[in-house]
Structures are given as structure tokens and as C-alpha cells.
Amino acid sequence: MPAEPGPALGGEGAGRRLEHDGLTWVAEVTGRGAVGFMFGSAAIESVHFRCTDERGPITRLAYLPAGIFAGLEDEELVALLRSAPPLVSRAAPESVETVDGVADGQPAAVVDYPGENDG
């Protein structure tokens, strides 16, 4: 079962509905924070996309600069949804979306940061 996001920050009815691939999704700002350090920090918001298909609930997560969610056009919101990875519960690894050539339950990509695995 996908991880459950918290309540929407915009209050009741703050979510936006959109259609994509034959499903009706609800997008909501569910968190706010900051990234960076000192003078290089920026405010961000987390956006959860939720819908239910024949297999059950689906939840995806994306991050945006703070304050732009309400001004996004529908096409921009769909593009954000398409780029948002699915959230899965650690208790249900069978629900992980797979990518060709990647074993079930394994990450599709591993990022190696410079210096992290050096000599």
C-alpha cells in the first residue's frame, strides 16, 4: 500500500483535479520546507498526486519552488505528475513499479555523488 501523505496545507478543497491516462488525479500541496544552506537556501513545497485504479491507490510526490502551485497551468501540472516518482510503503514491496532490466524491488537508478565512494 502506498505511503499516505499528510493533510493538504491549503485547507479543505485545496486540491486540484486533473485527468491523465484515463485516471482522475488530485494534486495537493502537503508540505513546506527549505533546501540549501544560508544564503543559498530556497523555499519548496511538496505536492502529492493521488488517484485509485483497479489495483488500488496510487500516490506520487513532486517538489516545487514555494508559491507556484496555484499558478500552474493544467498542462504544467500533468508534466509534473508524469515526472513524479511513485511512493511505496516498505511493507508492500510487491507494489513497486518496475523498469525493464531492473529486478523487482530494486531502485531503477543509483546516484553516485562525487567523493562518496572514492578510494
| Beta-sheet strand order (sheet of 42-53) | 16-20, 23-35, 42-53, 56-65
pTM: 0.62
The stretch 75-99 carries a mean pLDDT of 72
Using the predicted structure, report yes or no on whether residue 16 has a pLDDT greater than 70: yes
pLDDT given for residue 115 in this prediction: 45
pLDDT given for residue 15 in this prediction: 87
pLDDT given for residue 110 in this prediction: 41
Cell of 115: 567523493
DSSP-assigned letter for residue 76: H
* CA-based nearest residue to 86, from 12, 10, 23: 23
Position 1: which residue type?
Answer: M
End-to-end CA distance of the chain: 40
The stretch 99-112 carries a mean pLDDT of 46
Cell of 80: 509534473
Q: What is the mean pLDDT of the chain?
A: 74
Using the predicted structure, report yes or no on whether residue 43 has a pLDDT greater than 80: yes
Cell of 25: 488525479
Cell of 62: 513532486
Q: What percent of the chain stands above pLDDT 90? A: 39
Q: Please provide residue 19's backbone torsions phi and psi, each rounded to the nearest 5 degrees.
A: -105, 135
